[in-house]
Structure formats: structure tokens, C-alpha cells
Structure 1
Amino acid sequence: MILDCQNICKAFGTDVILDNISFHLEEKEKMAIVGINGAGKTTLLKIIMGEESADSGQVIVSKDRTIGYLSQYQESNYNTTVRGVMMDALKPILELQDRMRELEHTMAEQSGEELEKSLELYNRYTHEFEYKNGYSCESEANGVLKGLGFSKEDYDRHTDSLSGGQRTRLALGRLLMVKPDIIILDEPTNHLDMESISWLEGFLSSYQGSVIIVSHDRYFLDKIVTKIVELDNGHSQVYNGNYTYFAQKRAEIRENMMKAYLNQQQEIKHQEEVITKLKQFNREKSIKRAESREKMLSRIERLDKPTEVASEMRITLEPNVLSGEDVLTIEGLSKSFGDNNLFSGIDMDIKRGEHVALIGGNGTGKTTILKMINRLVSKDAGAIILGSRVKIGYYDQEHQVLTMSNTIFDEISDAYPDLSNTRIRNVLAAFLFTGEDVFKRIQDLSGGERGRVSLAKLMLSSANFLILDEPTNHLDITSKEILENAIRNYTGTVLYVSHDRYFINQTATRIIELRDKQLTSYIGNYDYYETHRTYSTDLVSPFTPISGVSDAPAQTAPAVSQAKLSWQESKAEAARQRKKANDLKKLEASIEELENRIAEIDEQFLLPENATNVGLLNDLTKQRNEADTELNELYTKWEELSEED
């Protein structure tokens, strides 16, 4: 056990946030802390880090263990370049390298017992340097920067010129290079695109230390964690498994809790009715019996009502008009902003009943496509054709469809003037706006609250073609699951942009990827896309409209690409990939041979008969340095070749 939280309690005034929270973290264990917004997740992390004090309880960290923390709102005041921040993280390793070099010069002038002591120290330094990956740490730092979305052109940028998201990513990269025994991450995927998240998953999964994550990205959690700590209504529950296991187990537990609660409420109501009736008899015996029952009732330990039942959104989406078979046809669509060409001549075809996720890296133009369909942004060329009887319902992540000066109540009333006040209040209550909340102005709402207002308008629209731009942003996990269920059961057509891979996995019947200004279509959910996506030899035929997922099973459907590679080009690309694989294999063999040679030299350093042979030791040191230099060059070649597309 590397960390132990024992009976942590924390309240702000009369509001109890954490009530006897207990769990432990094992060495190399990957754990997530989950719960609805306001459950106390970030507060708990700050208590673990010592940034806030608990009212009672204690946090025990094993002796000499280091902890690194990336907060959700990172404040970084680096006065250097991007590369400088990463080199600062490597400072202990670079200082160790300097000590090794100094010792090498010193040993050249030593002999006897003095040299033996220096050799022993040098050997200790060498092993520590190797253990900390010193020979390739700078390459590893570059790999981390690349994985987190920084280009080589960014390395020399001053940190003052970075955006808030870039600074957070840089802080994450620095933390990963420091390699503490425990990494604590609060919403680490917030500023990452899909490729960077996928890279981070791989890094954390193979990380040799322990990890604690707070995240609403359920696909991310599924890939990494083996333990979930849920915070609910101040209490904690530990589940040994990934997020999918937790969700299933929690549903079973919540169902049992609700049954127990309802049964107890029914029994209490029954006893209260009996007591009332006995008192109405107004007899000495009946009154005594009533009093006896009251005492029994007062001793019952009353169960709390499960929080999800009390606080969940209720969404029902259903089209009131059936659209034609062809819902959306896009032909030759092009868009540029100044010199930035997003895409040219792209085609897309969506049929009735399809649930299509449009994915791609940040800045590729996904949201622009949605806005052009909704005529919020003009197209440069091409045609956007809506099918017969198609009625769009649009959810905009920037909430431009909301009037900021309106109250929540007026926003619904203006959009649907035929609704009665009672109906409006009932709808808003379903989206967690009750009492005086309905008179809050849109401009004063949080991002999550504005999202709920937009979803309420969407539900009332009875649209048969939903276009959604990042619909899960700012929603807690419970609300995401409710929205997922509504989309899954929706009989109309859906086109959406989302970075939430779990949401995509649950709701998409087809995925269209926008990459390198081209579209690639995959019939299936996100798991299918992950298994079948390719950027080389599979891209052999143009994008063709695909009818519904029901017409072609996801298990056998091929990826269809818009990239126009000829058969000869595909063959040449396959040959290039084979050559690359062979070159990598040769490099890896050379690296292994050189590493074995270095190990042999180190063994000769340790032989007693060589301890006083200054000439031999100097020669071995020279051989060792030359081998180190050659090995670093091989590492660099291998990395460059591996990074080639």
C-alpha cells in the first residue's frame, strides 16, 4: 500500500462534502475517483495533496514516496520555452550526467584505492542513470510533447505565448517526465484531442508508478483504471474493476437500494396509518398500542433516498414526422478561412435512422460542417441538400441558439408560445431547473446549465434530424448516461461531433472521420473504428454513401475512403511499409548488440583483476563513451523512422 485515506471528513459550513471517506492505493495501481459535479472529487484531491485540510481523518503516504499533481485549472508561471520546461523536469538526470562526466575526468588521473572508490561511485551513478532512462530521456521528452499535440515548431516558443489549454498540456508533459511515485490528475483530457488522449492512455497504462484520475471521460477510464472510488452524497464506495464494471455494478446496487428504500417507505406509511387509526379509537389500550408502535417506528434506521433518483435529468426524444429515406446529401463541399483551407470537394450521405458521429482532430473543420448544414456559416463551394420532410434540431456547443438576455422560462416560452406555464415548468424541472431557478438569465448560467437549457429546447422540438455539437460537454457522468439512453432510443436521424469516445461507442451506428481534408466512413461504433481505422493501404476506394447499419453488419463492413489512391500507389505504399518494418528490425538488432556490448564493458569494470590497471580502465571508459554515443544515435534513428507516416 502506497497511500491510505482513512475516514476523511470535510464540510463547508453546514454543507457536508465528504463523510468518512476511506480507500487505499496499491503500488502501480491505477485508480479513478468519480461522482456527479459537486460530489467533492477535487476537494478530496486537494486534501490528499495537503492544499486543504480535512476536518477529521488522515492521509497516509508511504515513506519517501513522491506525488505529482495536475489540477483542473492549472496555473503555470514558466518563464522559459516549451523545451525549457521539459528540460527543467529532467534537471536531476542531467545533473547526474554532469557528475558522471566530472568523475570520468577525475578517474583518468587516479589510481589504486582512490580509483577503486571512484569506480564504485561511477558504477552507482551509471546504474541510476540507466534506471532513470538517462540515455534517451531527451528523446522521451520530445515524444511526450509530440504525444500531447506539440509540434517541433512549438519547442522554442515562449510559454507566455501559449494558450491556457497549451499551458495545461505542457504542465501535464512536465509532470509525466518528472515520474513521481503517484501521479494525481484532475480532468487531464479536457484540453486534448482524440489522438493525444489515446497516446496518454498508452503512457499511463504502462506507467510504473501509481495513478489517481478524476475524469468524466469514461472510455479513457475504461482503458486505464482497475479500481473506482465513487463519491456519492458525501459517502464513498470502492469498486474493483474498470468503468464498465463499475457502471454495471453500481446500477445493480442502486436498484437494490431503491427497492429497499421504497419497501421501507411503504412499511413506514403502513405503520403511520395504523398508529393514526389506533389513536382514533381513543381507547386506553389502543392508545398504548399506538404509542408502542411509535416507539418502534422511531427506532428504525431510515434509509436515504438514492441521489440519482432525486437529481437525474429526464430526456425523451421522439420525432413527430417521419423524414424521407435520404436525410442529408453533401456534394463537393469546400471551405477556407483566409489561407487556411479546411477541406475541398468532400461528399457525405446520411440515411434515415442513422446515428453518425463526425470525428477528427482539433481544427479540422467538424463544427464548421455542422454550422454550414444549419446555414450559420456560408460554404465556398458544393451543395448541401436536405431530404423531404426533414426537420432539424440543432444543439450548439457555443449556445448561439440561446438568447443571453432571456430568463430560462422566457427562452422556452418564446420558442414554444403554445405551451402552458405548467408544461414549461414541468419540462424545466425534468432538466433540474425548479422554483426560482427558472427566472435566472441565460447569461448568468454556467456552461453545464446552458447545455441543459439547449437540451430542453431540443426535446420540445420534435425534430427528426438532430445535429449535435459536443453535446456531452459540461455534463456529469450521470447526465451523459441519460443523454446516451435518449439518443440510443431515438428513432430519427442523428449527426454529431463529439470527443467523448464512450458516448460515441454507446450511440453511433456509423463513424465518419475527417482527416487530412478527406472523409473516411466506418460502419460501426468507436470500438469498431479503433479496430479498423487505417491511414495507408486500406484507403483504396472513394467515399460512397452507405445506407443503414442494418444493411451491412458492422463486423464485416470495410472502411470506405474518399482518398483516391490508385492500385499502383497502394502497392507502392505497402512496399514502403514493409521496407520500414525491415529497417526498424535491423536497427533494433543493432541496438540490442550495442547494449550487450555496453553490459560487457560494465562487467569488465567490476572485475577485481582490472581494478588497478589504469590503462585498461581508461580504454574501457573510452569504449563505453563511444558506445553510448553510437547507441544514442541509433535511438534517434529508430525514433525518427518510427515517426514516419
Structure 2
Amino acid sequence: MITATDLELRAGARILLQPTSFRVQPGDRIGLVGRNGAGKTTTLKVLAGETLPHGGTLTAAGPIGYLPQDPRTGDLEQRAGDRVLSARGLDAILHELTAVGNRLAEEHTDDGLVRRYGQLEERFSSLGGYAAEAEAARICSHLGLPDRVLDQAVGTLSGGQRRRIELARILFADSAGEPTTLLLDEPTNHLDADSIGWLRDFLKGHRGGLIVISHDVDLLAAVVNKVWYLDANRSALDAYNVGWATYLKQREADERRRTRERANAERKIDSLKGQADKMRAKATKAKAAQQMLRRAEALNAGLAEVRAHDKVAKLRFPDPAPCGRTPLTAEGLSKSYGSLEVFSGVDLAIDRGTRVVVLGLNGAGKTTLLRLLAGTERSDTGSVVPGHGLRLGYYAQEHETLDTERTVLENMRSAAPDPADLQLRSVLGAFLFSGDDVQKPAGVLSGGEKTRLALAMLVTSAANVLLLDEPTNNLDPASREQVLDALRHYSGAIVLVTHDEGAVEALDPDKVILLPDGVEDTWSADLADLVVLA
């Protein structure tokens, strides 16, 4: 359980949340919603104890499981399966059990080793034993993490796989006994359709508290029994103790009510000011006129802000710089991590203006292929060959292209061929970064804000080949539509990795690359079903 008293949140000088009190109790399944940049991710970080609030107090009773947008996986050398088991301390016990068992096989008469083995078995059994280990494997399987992935070091996994390992770890800890308060920031990112369906059922049966940030409307409709709307214009948290469908109706009614209240108040303010102006000319009524003006000012100060139409980034990808007929080719690419071969023998040719979607099951190497093409990672064999006039723009799903130590404006300068600040500020303004926002370090931005900055960097790059890895993740519906519209109208070449069927439809691909085989083929609508499975 979490209790917040007069909680106040800020991002620099900007108030995200006015002092607010609330509780999260067992059985509460809360959807935290609001436009990108409203402060949803910051709120979850504060509730998880990752950062401190500007004001107020927080108390937590019982364990908390926090899934951030960016995976933090500790020891990169740790076996992925052990990372999941570590949620209950099983990994260390299993390792010692194995080590002591191996020594006993050689030293049968060592009474100290026998006692130690018995102690470890007892401790292992108290934590669920081999049944718990099987449960962890079952959770991982449902999240698209087969045994071969669990046997790899965490550092060899893709960003999506690392995030699913963290989600599996949290869910495994939650099923240990004491109800856990789950704080999940976009938990369906990197999950296929089957995994999302399983997660919905798991969360519906969760006995502890839950706050989830998600742009997956189907998940919210199926899981949440309360909705908290973080209103960026009013810096207020509106709590609706109803499910998703009822919330939508109540929210719309509230917006209509606020609009009417503001219109009525504005008419009253105008009337009071008009009366005061007439009365000020007469000395006998000057005091009454002042009272009317004070009343008008009080009404104006207390007028609740009615939400304007939420702004969205006005996104258009750049007019591509001139290039040759085939600006990018790859020959014989292969990549392995240790003994695990991701793919081999991949050949492709990206012609000017062609549109390619990359499909494959999770872990097939889609993100890895884009990293090789972008030059941020080296292939084991083969080569990437730039054609005449190639200018690459790379959008990385984990925002690796952002320098988190540099400001928003400094990141833009690094991407622009002509880094004139006035022009860059204009582009940033279109992406909702204005005033002091451009001086923020990129590391303090929310997931949605990082997405907007990375897309703004693409816009100013004049790229003629765009490599896009899940560009619609972490975006609210209005911003997502802007990205899809930009895909439709861009005239350069695009290589796209996505689980978003709408993104593939907007791309209208010419070709498909199927991994891990690396087969390049003509796109067919028959392949559309593979998008959500990929």
C-alpha cells in the first residue's frame, strides 16, 4: 500500500502536480493517463522511491515492484534466468547448492558439507523450491522468453528482451505470497499479441495494488478499475473510481462542465467590470465600483483552467538529401553473442525511396540488424556499404542516440548539418520544447519526451534513409497519429521495425526482410498478421 500526503511534483520550475493526497490499496488497479510530458513517468518514479518529491510525504507498506521505461538490469554478466530468480533470492541458493553438491560428489564423508547442503535445501524449499523455479520459467515463457534466452548473459540481450526479463522478475516476485504494489510504465512495449493477452489476465487477477501507464487501450479497458488523469494544464490529478469505459464518458462530461463554468464566469467578470466602469465616474459609487473590480479579479484568479486541446508535435520527416539509386547495401551480415547466433548471411539493398519492414519473432535480431546498418554495432562477418550521398537517420527504441548528459538543444546541434540555434529552436518548438525546456539534460526527460526529442533530431538531419526502431512506442494517440502521417508523406527510404500494425499500414511497404533467415522479399498483405507476432 502507498499513501501520499500533499504530494507536490516539479520538473525544474514547472509544476507537474499541485499538492495532492491519495492512497493505493490492495485491489486498486489504477490506470495513470495524461498527455506526453504531463508527468506520468515522474509520478511513478517518485512513488517507487527512485526520486524525491518536491514536497509532501510518502509512506509505503509492503513490497513494491517497479518497471521503468528504460530497463535497468544490474550485472550484465548475470545469467538472464538467474536475474528472474533473484527476485526471491533463489539464484544464490541454487548456485551454492550446485557447488556444494559437486564437492559432496568428490568428498562423500565431509559432515560439514552435508550439514550445509541440508541447510541450503531447507532454505530453498522454504522459498518455493523447484516449483518456484518452474513458475519463473512459466512466466518467462508467457512473456516470449524461451530457455535459450534465459541461459544468455543479460548484457547479450536486446533492449526488448532485457525489459521482459525485468517484467518477469517483478511478476515472479509478486506471486511469492505477500501482495505487491506494482508500478508498471508501458508494460506492453516489446510484447507480442499472445504475451499481451497473458499479461492482461495476470494483472486482472493481481491481489495487490497496481498503477499502470499504458497507451494500450485494450489493456486499460480489461484491467483497471480506477483511472487517474494527470491534467498538464491544471497540474492536477483527477481521480475516477470507475472502469475505463465509464471514465471516458465521465471525463468528457467533466470537460463540457468546465467549459460551461468558464464561459459563465467570464460573462460575469465582463459584466462586473462593465458595471464598475460606469460607476467609477460617480464619487458616491466609487467604493461600490472598487468592490465589483475586486470581485471580478477574485473570480478570474479562481477560474479553473479548462483543458485546451492538447498540443501534439507537428511532425514531418525531412525532405531527403540527394543520393544515388541505392544509398545503402549490406552483404553477408552475421551476428552472434557468445555461442548464440542471432542471424547469418543477411544481404539487402535499400533503393532510393524504398520502404522496407523488418519482421521476425522477438529475439530474431530486428534491433540488432538496425544497429549494424546504423553503424552503432559491428557485425561478425560481412559489411555495410554506403552508397553515393547516403545520409542516415537512426531512431533507436531505447533512445541510445541521445546523449543523456547533454541538453535538449545540444543533442539537436549534434544531429543537424547546419546547427543554427534559431532554426533548431523553431523545430524544437514544433515538438513542444520551448523556453527553458531546451536547456534540460536529456536524461531527465520522460519516455514520451525522449521520443519527441529523438524524432526532432531526425527532422533536422535531412536524412535520405531512415532506420526506425519502434517509433510509436511511448506516444499518446494524438502524437502517434502524427508519426504515422509523417511515415505516409516521407519520400526517402525507410527501414522499419515495429509491432504496431498501424505503422506498417502507414508505411505501405514495398519489401519485407524476414529474420533470422535474412530473406528479402516483396511485401504481401498476407504477412500483416506477423506484425503483432513479431
Instruction: State the TM-score, normalizing by the size of structure 2.
Output: 0.61
Which gives a bigger RCO, structure 1 or 2 (Cα 8 Å, sep 6+)? 2
Determine if contact 2:471/2:498 at 8 Å carries over to the other structure. no
Aligned counterpart in structure 2 of residue 72 of structure 1, from 67, 73, 76: 67
Determine if contact 2:332/2:347 at 8 Å carries over to the other structure. yes
Matched, 1:315 2:314: yes
Secondary structure at the counterpart of residue 489 of structure 2 = coil
Question: Which string of whole-angstrom CA distances, capped at 9 and with x for unpartnered residues, describes residues 215-269 of structure 1?
Answer: 3452673474243322332322327444xx5896588468637745873685477
How far apart in 1 are the matches of 2:527 and 2:480? Answer: 28
How far apart in 1 are the matches of 2:239 and 2:375? Answer: 48
- The 1:322–1:268 alpha-carbon spacing in structure 2 relative to 1, beyond 3 Å, is farther
| Aligned counterpart, 1:142 | 137
How far apart in 1 are the matches of 2:464 and 2:155? Answer: 47
Moved more, 167-176 or 80-89: 80-89
| Aligned counterpart, 2:43 | 41
Question: Which string of whole-angstrom CA distances, capped at 9 and with x for unpartnered residues, describes residues 563-620 of structure 1?
Answer: xxxxxxxxxxxxxxxxxxxxxxxxxxxxxxxxxxxxxxxxxxxxxxxxxxxxxxxxxx
- The 1:334–1:455 alpha-carbon spacing in structure 2 relative to 1, beyond 3 Å, is same
- Letter aligned with residue 212 of structure 2: V
Query: Shift of the alpha carbon at 1:507?
Result: 5.5
| Aligned counterpart, 1:297 | 296
Counterparts of residues 303-342 of structure 1 (less than 5 Å): 303-305=303-305, 312-317=311-316, 334-337=332-335, 340=341, 342=343
| Aligned counterpart, 2:173 | 175
- The 1:307–1:419 alpha-carbon spacing in structure 2 relative to 1, beyond 3 Å, is farther
- The 1:471–1:164 alpha-carbon spacing in structure 2 relative to 1, beyond 3 Å, is closer
How far apart in 1 are the matches of 2:209 and 2:289? Answer: 57
Determine if contact 2:3/2:58 at 8 Å carries over to the other structure. yes
Question: Which string of whole-angstrom CA distances, capped at 9 and with x for unpartnered residues, describes residues 290-333 of structure 1?
Answer: 335314414527334356768x4532316658999xx9899986
How far apart in 2 are the matches of 1:33 and 1:420? Answer: 36
Matched, 1:485 2:477: no
How far apart in 1 are the matches of 2:357 and 2:527? Answer: 15
Determine if contact 1:315/1:459 at 8 Å carries over to the other structure. no
How far apart in 2 are the matches of 1:208 and 1:447? Answer: 26
Matched, 1:559 2:527: yes
- Letter aligned with residue 427 of structure 1: V
Query: Shift of the alpha carbon at 1:482?
Result: 1.7
| Aligned counterpart, 2:429 | 429
How far apart in 1 are the matches of 2:283 and 2:26? Answer: 63
Counterparts of residues 142-541 of structure 1 (less than 5 Å): 142-148=137-143, 151-152=146-147, 168-169=166-167, 171-181=169-179, 183-187=181-185, 189=187, 193-194=191-192, 197-198=195-196, 200-201=198-199, 203-204=201-202, 207=205, 209=207, 212-218=210-216, 221-222=219-220, 224-227=222-225, 228-232=227-231, 233-238=235-240, 240-242=242-244, 245=245, 249=249, 252=252, 256=256, 259-260=259-260, 263=263, 267=267, 270=270, 274=274, 277-278=277-278, 282-284=281-283, 287=286, 290-300=289-299, 302-305=302-305, 312-317=311-316, 334-337=332-335, 340=341, 342-345=343-346, 358-361=358-361, 363-371=363-371, 393-397=393-397, 398=399, 400=401, 408=409, 411-412=412-413, 415=416, 417=418, 421=422, 423-439=423-439, 451-460=451-460, 466-472=466-472, 475=474, 477-478=475-476, 481-488=478-485, 490-492=488-490, 495=494, 497=496, 501=500, 504=503, 514-518=514-518
How far apart in 1 are the matches of 2:335 and 2:154? Answer: 27
- The 1:372–1:337 alpha-carbon spacing in structure 2 relative to 1, beyond 3 Å, is closer
How far apart in 2 are the matches of 1:297 and 1:360? Answer: 63
How far apart in 2 are the matches of 1:76 and 1:378? Answer: 24
How far apart in 2 are the matches of 1:376 and 1:188? Answer: 26
- The 1:222–1:290 alpha-carbon spacing in structure 2 relative to 1, beyond 3 Å, is same
Structure 1 or 2: more helix by fraction: 1
Q: Please, which runs of 5 or more residues in structure 1 have no aligned partner?
A: 62-66, 91-132, 521-542, 547-556, 563-645
Query: Shift of the alpha carbon at 1:184?
Result: 1.9
Query: Shift of the alpha carbon at 1:214?
Result: 2.2
Determine if contact 2:342/2:365 at 8 Å carries over to the other structure. no
- Higher Cα radius of gyration: 1
How far apart in 2 are the matches of 1:43 and 1:336? Answer: 39
Question: Which string of whole-angstrom CA distances, capped at 9 and with x for unpartnered residues, describes residues 388-439 of structure 1?
Answer: x998654345554879878716944983649683x54343333343334545
- Letter aligned with residue 491 of structure 1: H
Secondary structure at the counterpart of residue 433 of structure 2 = coil
- Letter aligned with residue 559 of structure 1: L
- The 1:284–1:357 alpha-carbon spacing in structure 2 relative to 1, beyond 3 Å, is farther
How far apart in 1 are the matches of 2:315 and 2:153? Answer: 49
Query: Shift of the alpha carbon at 1:336?
Result: 1.0
- The 1:246–1:357 alpha-carbon spacing in structure 2 relative to 1, beyond 3 Å, is farther
How far apart in 1 are the matches of 2:297 and 2:327? Answer: 67
How far apart in 2 are the matches of 1:464 and 1:160? Answer: 32
Query: Shift of the alpha carbon at 1:502?
Result: 8.4
How far apart in 2 are the matches of 1:186 and 1:393? Answer: 31
How many percent identity over aligned positions?
Answer: 17
How far apart in 1 are the matches of 2:328 and 2:287? Answer: 80
Query: Shift of the alpha carbon at 1:192?
Result: 5.8
Question: Which string of whole-angstrom CA distances, capped at 9 and with x for unpartnered residues, describes residues 123-177 of structure 1?
Answer: xxxxxxxxxx999766444312333455546778999999985873453243243
Determine if contact 1:8/1:55 at 8 Å carries over to the other structure. yes
How far apart in 2 are the matches of 1:349 and 1:515? Answer: 16
Determine if contact 1:393/1:464 at 8 Å carries over to the other structure. yes
- Letter aligned with residue 209 of structure 1: R
Determine if contact 2:140/2:165 at 8 Å carries over to the other structure. no
Secondary structure at the counterpart of residue 303 of structure 1 = coil
- Letter aligned with residue 343 of structure 2: L
Determine if contact 1:185/1:213 at 8 Å carries over to the other structure. yes
| Aligned counterpart, 2:522 | 544
Determine if contact 2:140/2:168 at 8 Å carries over to the other structure. yes
- Letter aligned with residue 146 of structure 1: S
| Aligned counterpart, 1:630 | none
- Letter aligned with residue 237 of structure 1: A
Query: Shift of the alpha carbon at 1:70?
Result: 0.7
Secondary structure at the counterpart of residue 175 of structure 2 = helix
How far apart in 1 are the matches of 2:350 and 2:141? Answer: 34
Determine if contact 1:23/1:238 at 8 Å carries over to the other structure. no
Secondary structure at the counterpart of residue 558 of structure 1 = helix
